[in-house]
């Protein structure tokens, strides 16, 4: 299983616009991706393509999250998604 950590860069955290951008990108990946707050057990991870799950995660600016995926293309998918999380979409 591939795993990456990312720090939420958007000033409002993973809410509204940033969550929408991330959920859409996660849904486009060839593998299922989960997201959890750093330190949470893998079984507590949520569906990264669900905007409701993302907003319920409570990830604020500076929060570290863990992305996980399994299967062909998992590493590339996670790299793409980490870049999205580590971009301040509120500054655009």
Please list the active-site residues: 15
* DSSP for the chain, written as a single string: -EEEEEE--STT-SSHHHHHHHHHHHHTSSS-EEEEETTS-GGG-EETT-HHHHHHHT--TT-EEEEEE-STTHHHHHHHHHHHHTS-TT--
């Amino acid at each position: 299983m591939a795993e990456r950590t990312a720090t939420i860069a958007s000033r409002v955290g993973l809410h509204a616009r940033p969550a929408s951008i991330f959920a859409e990108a996660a849904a486009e990946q060839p593998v299922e991706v989960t997201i959890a707050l750093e330190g949470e057990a893998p079984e507590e991870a949520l569906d990264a393509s669900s905007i409701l799950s993302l907003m319920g995660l409570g990830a604020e600016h500076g929060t570290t999250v863990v992305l996980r995926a399994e299967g062909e293309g998992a590493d590339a998918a996670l790299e793409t998604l980490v870049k999205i999380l580590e971009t301040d979409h509120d500054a655009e």
